């Protein structure tokens, strides 16, 4: 128990010294396991973990969904989505910020990563909002927050990893993400509306219309079509998630070719970029595997389970405490490692809870519902200071906007996220309706 | 002394709750608390890594299937995978422990570990959603998930397209038509929620196949125990463990059978022509195995005959 | 600052390595995508899935990861956290740079060693994949070489930054 806490402290220390998160987890996990057992066992464990983790059938969807997003970025459908939303919303005060949110939601339907969604949308939405005279805080805030929808609206890398840890059905997790994702879009729109109502100087009262071209309409149709192929394929039982990812990537390639502008050089860069992101993600998965082996060996999950059981409180109280822990952890942890480190610890606890006679009396439903809750708290972590990766992405695209301005712009969306989280906990049916 | 057991099955699986946990308690009791066994909440590696986790000392104790990895080890363990080896898991497990750990010297194949236990599950069945198998030709062209090893070869000889995947992926692939069926004991239909996607379940006397399981402990840790504790642990392991595990599998199968009885699935006994076709292939494969075992200096054919006579399926 | 004229040799070598690894990554990625699509088509239209598609998928994924790992590492593509930017201490900054560089090189060197050991074990046992009986040790050796290359590239890159 105490070893686990020292391990977490050492992990934070190394991360603060700018050791890559994956490598810090490998270092502390290996050293911790060696301390609990011996060096030979720890090094054997490391070799096996690095090898076995990379040979995973389920996780093969990760590069495919990433490649799909990269190809669609090249094809320019992000511009089509934004232009169309711009046309529809330009008369409202804050309409372009709302258009950014809607376009982020649309792009999320074909991109599995929040960071990629934010990066892609910032390139098309930010110039328009600046030209129209939007405050940098609202403009960056809407893109950073809208980008978080990438991991909730399917496809989602985080839901895939949650499914891997908990052995939950990835197809069902994807389906469960749809309604909470749409609620997310609505709540973010309400956040923009409220922000400009309270502070009209954030945005002009309206913006010039944007002509929607034939290409834009094609782009929107392509996104919609691809989303339907993936979801109907999984939901209707035609494809497994792995097959949906492969077909999705191939279809995205076709879209990129048809939309024009795809060169061999761009295709090469999209492929290499996807491979590099995949290696980065797997380094974190391997690191988290090694670290959580140490923590599990040191008895932390058992200790937490025993402690909560001894409290003998209502299941929803436990959930509230967990969510609070997640929001606090989310402030300081990187999202992927947060999921990988906490879900193995909290999952046995959550599945042991008694949620009464409603929809959550079915243990399988609890697993799916908890997965969506975990993704929503991860979304919050992506925009929470001091370590909010989505904000960092925007910062790298827009180096002239100071971080405090960005985090100030996040505030309304952060409040919207907390409200959405409360709603999804209070009404689990919203996640489970389509199942 | 605390021994750490890495467990890869879900924590609520009967093998964990009714075999490993009670066994761990009986070790503590038999050694009067000098040796305790702690079951980790999360495995230290994927299922196929589990033999080596114990052999390499990453964990002290592990259990798993001999067929997890396809390599040169555990040749003689395959006696537990053949067709027609027992009508109940209890009989087959006891005989398997007796024959494999005795005349076939199982300990020698379990290098770097102390072999504590061996068992098999209930008789393997043939489940599919395409057609009732009434003649050997009905097997032809079916896409079936098998666990690899003997049953994969047998299926291929019956003109079945075999597919390999983790047991957790069976539901998804079955519901999407990637596979038409699966070989499993009865309990798995309920455990893996397959009843909506299976129409015909065929029983074969003594099982169409089986799967052999081991329970092992790191050799150095074993050597470090006192002779008194070793004897105490051996007493609650081995034959006693085989019987305990067999009873758990049999109970799971009979629960599974009554669950399946309330579904649309047609459960039936394999017609004689089908059994004969299986037997013809089985004999060929058994002879191949016995020849390979012969080369390592053991009499496989005699051991198999002994196993069958102990379970009463010999004819 | 190293003289420009001393640069071309290593960087041309690096450019070659980068291009070859990149090309290999793209080929494996397309192979993975193609395998899955062909498998679906073969199943729906010819009722005959590809034999060993399951294990080929796993192998392609592993090969993709380990081909790309040196590229990611060299490009400093592993997620790190920039909190110390707030602390304007030059000492802390240099300390962080040295600790991070040494950790990265050290971890990849150790990974290379332990994964190589793991591959040796797989080779001595003759472990093969389930249907196609491909030797798994080969992937272990590839993974070990990939980690070693990552360590070397990061070391060279750190030298150039100092
Ligand atoms: Na998405
Ligand atoms: Na954060």
Among candidates C47, C127, C131 on the partner chain, residue whose Cβ is nearest the Cβ of B71:
C127
Q: Which residue has the higher pLDDT, B94 or B12?
A: B94
C-alpha–C-alpha distance, residues B79 and B159, integer Å: 23
C-alpha–C-alpha distance, residues A138 and A78, integer Å: 20
Sign (positive or negative) of CA dihedral A394, A396, A401, A404: positive
Please, are residues C55 and B164 in contact by the beta-carbon 8 Å criterion?
Answer: yes
Query: What's the structural domain count of chain A?
Result: 1
C-alpha–C-alpha distance, residues B79 and B92, integer Å: 11
B221-235 mean pLDDT? 97
Cα radius of gyration (chain A): 22
Contacts of A38 in chain B (CB under 8 A): 57
On whether any CB of chain B is under 8 Å from the CB of C125, the answer is yes
Residue A154: how many CB atoms within 10 A of its CB? Answer: 28
Please, are residues B250 and B122 in contact by the beta-carbon 8 Å criterion?
Answer: yes
- Is B141's CB within 8 Å of C47's CB? yes
A94-108 mean pLDDT? 95
Whether the link from the prior residue into A386 is cis, omega within 30° of 0, is yes
**pLDDT at residue A307, rounded to an integer:** 85
Q: Report residue C13's pLDDT band, with 50, 70 and 90 as the boundaries.
A: confident
CA distance to partner chain B, nearest, from residue C97 (Å): 33
Q: Please give the backbone phi and psi of residue B212, each rounded to the nearest 5 degrees, phi first.
A: -100, 140
pLDDT in tens, A163-196: 988 888 888 999 999 999 999 999 999 999 999 9
Q: What is the distance in A from the centroid of ligand 1 to the CA of A159?
A: 10
The alpha carbon of residue B295 and the mean position of all alpha carbons in its chain are separated, in whole angstroms, by 25
C-alpha–C-alpha distance, residues A353 and A314, integer Å: 8
Burial (CB < 10 A; 0-12, 13-18, 19+), residue A429, is: middle
Of the ranges A21-30, A393-402, C122-131, which one carries the lowest mean pLDDT score?
Answer: A393-402
Q: Which residue has the higher pLDDT, A43 or B173?
A: A43
- Is B148's CB within 8 Å of C48's CB? no
Q: Report residue A352's pLDDT band, with 50, 70 and 90 as the boundaries.
A: confident
Contacts of A167 in chain B (CB under 8 A): 10, 168
Please, are residues A62 and A160 in contact by the beta-carbon 8 Å criterion?
Answer: yes
Tokens of B220: 């150095």
Please, are residues A120 and A78 in contact by the beta-carbon 8 Å criterion?
Answer: yes
Res C5 pLDDT > 60: no
C-alpha–C-alpha distance, residues B69 and C128, integer Å: 8
Q: Which of B152, B151, B144, B133 has the alpha carbon at shortest distance from B170?
A: B144
C-alpha–C-alpha distance, residues A99 and A81, integer Å: 9
Q: Which residue has the tokens 């390595």?
A: C17
Please, are residues A272 and C77 in contact by the beta-carbon 8 Å criterion?
Answer: no
**pLDDT at residue C10, rounded to an integer:** 59
- Is B70's CB within 8 Å of C47's CB? no
CA distance to partner chain A, nearest, from residue B10 (Å): 9
Residue A148: CB partners within 8 Å, gap ≥ 6? Answer: A114, A117, A118, A184, A379, A380, A382, A383, A390, A417
- Is C104's CB within 8 Å of A20's CB? yes
Q: Is A91 left (phi over 0), alpha (psi -120 to 50) or beta?
A: alpha
CA distance to partner chain A, nearest, from residue B271 (Å): 33
Residues in chain A, how many?
A: 435
CA distance to partner chain B, nearest, from residue C124 (Å): 9
Residues 37-76 (C) with a CB less than 8 A from some CB of A: 37, 39-40, 54, 57-62, 64-69, 71-72, 75
Sheet holding B161-163, edge to edge: B161-163, B143-145, B181-184, B125-128, B200-203, B266-269
Res A325 pLDDT > 50: yes
Type and span of the H or E element at A120: helix A114-131
Q: Which residue has the higher pLDDT, C45 or A414?
A: A414
| C-contacting chains (≥3 CB pairs under 8 Å) | A, B
Among candidates A45, A305, A344 on the partner chain, residue whose Cβ is nearest the Cβ of B44:
A45
C-alpha–C-alpha distance, residues A408 and A402, integer Å: 10
**pLDDT at residue C87, rounded to an integer:** 58
Q: Report residue A282's pLDDT band, with 50, 70 and 90 as the boundaries.
A: very high
Distances (CA, A) of A51 to A168, A289, B86, B163, B315: 23, 12, 38, 23, 47
Please, are residues A45 and C51 in contact by the beta-carbon 8 Å criterion?
Answer: no
Bridge partner residues of B62 (DSSP): B6, B216
**pLDDT at residue A309, rounded to an integer:** 83
Among candidates C48, C55, C126 on the partner chain, residue whose Cβ is nearest the Cβ of B161:
C48
Tokens of A317: 């109280």
Q: Which residue has the higher pLDDT, C13 or A73?
A: A73
On whether any CB of chain B is under 8 Å from the CB of C58, the answer is no
Contacts of C69 in chain A (CB under 8 A): 279, 283
On whether any CB of chain A is under 8 Å from the CB of C132, the answer is no
Interface test with B, best of A42, A291, A293 (most B CBs within 10 A): A293
Contacts of B178 in chain A (CB under 8 A): 240
On whether any CB of chain B is under 8 Å from the CB of C78, the answer is no
Q: What is the distance in A from the centroid of ligand 2 to the CA of B241?
A: 50
Q: What is the distance in A from the centroid of ligand 1 to the CA of C141?
A: 35
Residue A313: CB partners within 8 Å, gap ≥ 6? Answer: none
Strand residue runs (E) in A133-283: none
**pLDDT at residue C88, rounded to an integer:** 66
In chain A, the residue whose alpha carbon lies closest to the alpha carbon of C82 is A18
CA distance to partner chain B, nearest, from residue C49 (Å): 8
Q: Report residue B305's pLDDT band, with 50, 70 and 90 as the boundaries.
A: very high
Residue B219: how many CB atoms within 10 A of its CB? Answer: 17
Q: Report residue C95's pLDDT band, with 50, 70 and 90 as the boundaries.
A: confident
Residue A345: CB partners within 8 Å, gap ≥ 6? Answer: A292, A295, A300, A301, A304
Q: Please give the backbone phi and psi of residue A210, each rounded to the nearest 5 degrees, phi first.
A: -120, 125
**pLDDT at residue C83, rounded to an integer:** 64
For chain A, what is the mean pLDDT?
91
Q: Quote the ipTM score.
A: 0.91
Interface test with B, best of A29, A36, A41 (most B CBs within 10 A): A41
CA distance to partner chain C, nearest, from residue B30 (Å): 36
Q: Report residue C143's pLDDT band, with 50, 70 and 90 as the boundaries.
A: very high
Please, are residues A156 and A227 in contact by the beta-carbon 8 Å criterion?
Answer: no
Measured at the CA of B301, the angle between CA B300 and CA B302, to 5 degrees, comes to 95
Please, are residues A270 and A71 in contact by the beta-carbon 8 Å criterion?
Answer: yes
Type and span of the H or E element at B7: none
Res C128 pLDDT > 70: yes
CA distance to partner chain C, nearest, from residue B152 (Å): 9
Sheet holding B2-6, edge to edge: B36-39, B2-6, B61-65, B212-218, B113-120
- Is C54's CB within 8 Å of B164's CB? yes
Owning domain of residue A307:
2-432
Which of the 8 DSSP states describes residue A212?
Answer: P
- Is B4's CB within 8 Å of A167's CB? no
Among candidates B70, B143, B178 on the partner chain, residue whose Cβ is nearest the Cβ of C128:
B70
On whether any CB of chain C is under 8 Å from the CB of A20, the answer is yes
| A-contacting chains (≥3 CB pairs under 8 Å) | B, C
C-alpha–C-alpha distance, residues A154 and C14, integer Å: 38
**pLDDT at residue C3, rounded to an integer:** 41
Tokens of B195: 């009843």
Bridge partner residues of B38 (DSSP): B4
Q: Which of B15, B44, B53 has the alpha carbon at shortest distance from B249?
A: B15
In chain C, the residue whose alpha carbon lies closest to the alpha carbon of A233 is C40
Res B200 pLDDT > 90: yes
Please, are residues B313 and B208 in contact by the beta-carbon 8 Å criterion?
Answer: no
Report chain B residues touching chain A, CB-CB < 8 A. 4, 10-11, 40-42, 44-46, 48-49, 52-53, 56-58, 165-166, 168-169, 171-173, 175-178
Q: What percent of chain B has pLDDT over 70?
A: 99
B76-89 mean pLDDT? 96
CA distance to partner chain A, nearest, from residue C106 (Å): 9
Res A103 pLDDT > 70: yes
Res C9 pLDDT > 60: no
Q: What percent of chain B has pLDDT over 90?
A: 86
Instruction: Tell me the CB-side half-sphere exposure of residue B33, using CA atoms within 13 A.
Output: 0
Q: Indicate the angle between helix axes A170-198 and A214-235, nearest 10 degrees.
A: 140
Res C59 pLDDT > 90: yes
On whether any CB of chain A is under 8 Å from the CB of C143, the answer is yes
Among candidates C51, C54, C125 on the partner chain, residue whose Cβ is nearest the Cβ of B165:
C54
- Between strands B266-269 and B181-184, the pairing is unpaired
Residue C88: how many CB atoms within 10 A of its CB? Answer: 8
On whether any CB of chain C is under 8 Å from the CB of B148, the answer is yes
For residues A162-197, b (16+ Cβ closer than 10 Å) or e, as one string? Answer: bbbbbebbbbbbbbbbbbbbebbbebbbebbbebbe
């Amino acid at each position: 128990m105490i070893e686990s806490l020292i391990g977490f402290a050492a992990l934070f220390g190394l991360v603060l010294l700018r050791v890559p998160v994956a490598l810090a987890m490998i270092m502390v996990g290996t050293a911790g396991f060696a301390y609990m057992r011996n060096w030979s066992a720890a090094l054997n464990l490391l070799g096996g973990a690095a090898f076995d983790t990379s040979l995973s059938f389920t996780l093969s969807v990760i590069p495919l969904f990433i490649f799909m997003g990269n190809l669609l970025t090249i094809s320019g459908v992000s511009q089509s989505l934004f232009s169309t939303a711009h046309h529809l919303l330009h008369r409202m005060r804050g309409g372009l910020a709302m258009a950014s949110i809607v376009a982020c939601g649309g792009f999320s339907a074909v991109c599995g990563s929040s960071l990629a969604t934010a990066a892609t949308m910032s390139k098309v939405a930010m110039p328009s909002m600046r030209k129209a005279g939007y405050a940098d805080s609202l403009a960056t805030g809407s893109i950073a927050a809208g980008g978080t929808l990438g991991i909730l609206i399917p496809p989602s890398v985080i839901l895939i990893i949650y499914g891997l840890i908990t052995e939950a059905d990835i197809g069902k997790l994807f389906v469960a993400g749809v309604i909470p994702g749409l609620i997310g879009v609505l709540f973010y729109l309400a956040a923009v509306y409220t922000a400009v109502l309270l502070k009209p100087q954030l945005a002009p009262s309206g913006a010039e219309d944007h002509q929607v071209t034939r290409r834009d309409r094609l782009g929107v149709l392509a996104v919609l079509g691809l989303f339907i192929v993936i979801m109907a394929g999984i939901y209707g039982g035609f494809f497994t998630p792995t097959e949906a990812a492969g077909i999705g990537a191939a279809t995205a390639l076709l879209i990129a070719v048809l939309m024009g502008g795809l060169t061999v050089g761009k295709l090469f860069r999209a492929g290499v970029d996807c491979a590099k992101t995949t290696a980065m993600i797997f380094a974190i998965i391997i690191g988290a595997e090694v670290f959580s082996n140490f923590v599990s060996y040191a008895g932390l999950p058992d200790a937490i389970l025993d402690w909560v059981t001894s409290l003998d409180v209502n299941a929803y109280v436990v959930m509230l405490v967990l969510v609070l822990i997640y929001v606090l952890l989310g402030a300081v942890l990187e999202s992927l490692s947060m999921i990988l480190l906490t879900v193995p610890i909290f999952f046995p606890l959550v599945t042991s809870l008694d949620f009464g006679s409603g929809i959550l009396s079915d243990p399988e439903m609890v697993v799916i519902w908890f997965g969506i809750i975990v993704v929503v708290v991860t979304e919050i972590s992506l925009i929470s200071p001091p370590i909010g990766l989505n904000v960092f992405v925007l910062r790298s695209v827009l180096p002239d906007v100071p971080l405090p301005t960005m985090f100030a712009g996040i505030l309304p969306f952060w409040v919207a996220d907390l409200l959405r989280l409360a709603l999804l906990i209070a009404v689990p049916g919203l996640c489970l309706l389509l199942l | 002394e605390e021994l750490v057991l890495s467990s890869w099955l879900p924590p609520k699986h009967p093998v964990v709750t009714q075999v490993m946990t009670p066994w761990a308690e009986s070790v503590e009791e038999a050694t009067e608390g000098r040796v305790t066994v702690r079951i980790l909440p999360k495995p230290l590696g994927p299922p196929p890594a589990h033999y080596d986790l114990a052999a390499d000392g990453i964990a002290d104790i592990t259990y798993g299937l001999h067929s997890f990895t396809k390599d040169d080890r555990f040749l003689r363990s395959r006696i537990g995978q053949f067709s027609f080896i027992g009508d109940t898991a209890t009989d087959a497990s006891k005989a398997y422990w007796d024959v494999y750990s005795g005349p076939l010297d199982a300990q020698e194949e379990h290098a770097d570990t102390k072999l504590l236990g061996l068992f098999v599950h209930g008789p393997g069945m043939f489940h599919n959603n395409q057609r009732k198998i009434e003649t050997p030709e009905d097997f032809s062209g079916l896409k079936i998930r098998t666990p690899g090893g003997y049953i994969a070869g047998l299926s291929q000889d019956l003109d079945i397209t075999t597919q390999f995947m983790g047991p957790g992926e069976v539901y998804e692939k079955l519901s999407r038509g990637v596979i038409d069926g699966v070989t499993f004991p009865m309990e798995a239909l309920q455990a893996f929620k397959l009843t909506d996607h299976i129409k015909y379940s065929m029983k074969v006397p003594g099982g169409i196949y089986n799967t052999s399981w081991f329970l092992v402990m790191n050799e150095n840790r074993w050597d470090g125990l006192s002779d008194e504790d070793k004897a105490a642990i051996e007493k609650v392991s081995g034959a006693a463990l085989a019987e305990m595990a067999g009873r758990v599998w049999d109970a799971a199968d009979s629960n599974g059978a009554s669950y399946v009885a309330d579904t649309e699935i047609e459960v039936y006994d394999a017609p004689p022509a089908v059994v004969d076709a299986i037997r013809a292939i089985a004999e060929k494969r058994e002879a191949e195995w016995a020849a390979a075992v012969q080369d390592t200096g053991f009499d496989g054919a005699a051991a198999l005959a002994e196993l069958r006579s102990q379970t009463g399926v010999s004819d | 600052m190293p003289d420009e004229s001393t640069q071309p040799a290593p960087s041309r070598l690096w450019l070659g390595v980068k291009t070859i690894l990149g090309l290999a990554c793209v080929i494996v990625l397309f192979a993975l995508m193609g395998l899955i699509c062909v498998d679906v088509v073969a199943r729906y239209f010819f009722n005959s899935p590809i034999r060993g598609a399951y294990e080929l998928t796993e192998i392609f994924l592993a090969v993709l990861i380990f081909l790309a790992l040196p590229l990611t590492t060299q490009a400093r593509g592993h997620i790190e956290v920039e909190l110390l930017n707030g602390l304007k201490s030059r000492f802390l900054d240099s300390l962080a740079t040295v600790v991070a560089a040494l950790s990265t090189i050290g971890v990849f060197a150790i990974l290379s060693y332990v994964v190589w050991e793991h591959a040796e074990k797989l080779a001595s046992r003759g472990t093969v994949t389930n249907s196609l009986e491909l030797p798994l040790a080969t992937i272990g050796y590839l993974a070990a070489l990939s980690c070693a290359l990552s360590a070397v590239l990061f070391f060279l890159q750190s030298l150039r930054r100092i």
